[in-house]
Amino acid sequence: MFIKCPPIVFIINRQFNDRSHKDIEETAKHELEEETGIKTQNVEYFGMFAGFVTKATEKIYCYFVDNAEFNSQQNLDENEEIEVVEYTFDEVEKLIQNNQINAAITVAAWDLAKRKYSHRFSSWK
């Protein structure tokens, strides 16, 4: 899961075998609502990363969400601790620059999103 930058949300969803959902996109929407309380019917795939390219087969799928609704509460598993926070574009950039957001996949997903969606948001550099 990533961060919300009003009015959009970025999702990072690890591939796992959840037989209750038909596909990765459906799983991403389900996990978004379960872990953040954010509901949407519209997710747009924008990239995939390999977690570890040498031995593991884990894949990280990235989605862009527009028109998200904050209409439910988090429903976390016992071992999950997730805080939903809102940042502006500039705040995320500063957090990355100051090494406060430093997870490689998160930073890579943010960079890819900036490249892909800069035309939609004039404030994005």
Tens of pLDDT along 48-87? 887 667 766 777 888 888 777 777 788 877 887 777 787 8
CATH code: domain 4-72+86-120 is 3.90.79.10
More confident residue, 1 or 27: 27
pLDDT one-digit tens code per residue, 90-122: 888 899 999 988 888 888 888 988 888 877 766
pLDDT at 5 (0 to 100): 46
Q: pTM here?
A: 0.72
Is the separation of the CB atoms in 61 and 24 below 8 Å?
yes
Are 27 and 18 a contacting pair, CB within 8 Å?
yes
The CA-atom distances, in angstroms, between 85 and each of 5, 27, 37, 76, 92 are 9, 22, 12, 16, 11
Pair of tokens at residue 63: 């989605």
